[in-house]
Amino acid sequence: MYFLEVDELWLITNQNTQVKNIDKLIGWVKRRTENEPLEYITNRVSFYSEEFFIKEGALIPRPETELLLEDVFKNLPNKDEKISFVEVGVGSGIISIILAKHYKNASFIAVDISQGALEIAAVNIKKFALEDRIELRLGSLLDNVDEKIDYLVSNPPYIADDEELESNLSYEPQNALFGGKIGDEIIQELLDRVLKQKIKFFTCEMGYDQKDKIQHYLRDKNYESLEFYKDLSDFDRGFTLKV
């Protein structure tokens, strides 16, 4: 379907059609047999009922990240809210773009440590005509953000450095997957920034086994509330800290 740029009905009803440019198709098949993700081969990925551009250099969006968005929507039910969002680790831009489509009066700064990821995000931001509302910045965490932040969102690297991953993940940017020796070091750094800068909301994805560690890390800190959410497999998947 992707190669021929047709829908499923056309594919079913035209099975005797001879494929042209067979060498390119064989190349696609070879890449797939080597476990390269289909999204990188087709340069397309679906997320939250929208289609985005993707290629090597940005993490492929996962369905569970849609739950992060749902948690933001729960915390900010007013779609007309005039609020400043910052996203750390923008990747392909999917989180900021969906939030910008939802909150028409909000402003966005989206940060990533990878220039390649920012270039991919820029393609998607342009596709949705959001260039005037989402500003991309190259940098680590919040180092290049001096503005007041009302809501911080992030899907940071949270896998421990020594954890063995499936072979297809070797194609994805490793700095978007591995979060340090323990795995939650970057999350801890972001928590410190949130508390120091008194950012009202912080919604963050995390590893399924990191709930206790995060609760322990915040045990002596001052904040209003900490609520966790689960994925569809009933694993802990993220949290919102309200300061």
What CATH number is attached to the domain comprising 146? 3.40.50.150
Q: Could you tell me where the DSSP H helices lie in 38-136?
A: 38-42, 65-75, 94-102, 115-127
Tell me what the pLDDT averaged over the chain comes to.
90
Within a domain: 111: yes
pLDDT digits (tens, 9 = 90+) for 72-119: 999 999 999 899 999 999 999 999 999 999 999 999 999 999 999 999
- Altogether, the residues listed in the chain come to a count of 243
Question: Residue 174's domain spans which residues?
Answer: 62-242
Within a domain: 207: yes
Within a domain: 50: no
Question: Cβ-count burial of 78 within 10 angstroms (0-12 exposed, 13-18 middle, 19+ buried)?
Answer: exposed
Distance between start and end Cα atoms, the chain: 48
Per the structure, the count of domains in the chain is 1
Within a domain: 12: no
pTM passes above 0.85: yes
191 contacts: CB under 8 Å, gap ≥ 6:
202, 214, 217, 218, 221, 241
pLDDT digits (tens, 9 = 90+) for 152-170: 999 987 555 545 656 555 6
In this predicted structure, what is the pLDDT of residue 170?
A: 60
82 contacts: CB under 8 Å, gap ≥ 6:
105, 106
Q: Is the pLDDT of residue 171 over 70?
A: no
Pairing of strands 159-160, 178-180: parallel
Task: For residue 175, give the DSSP letter.
Answer: G
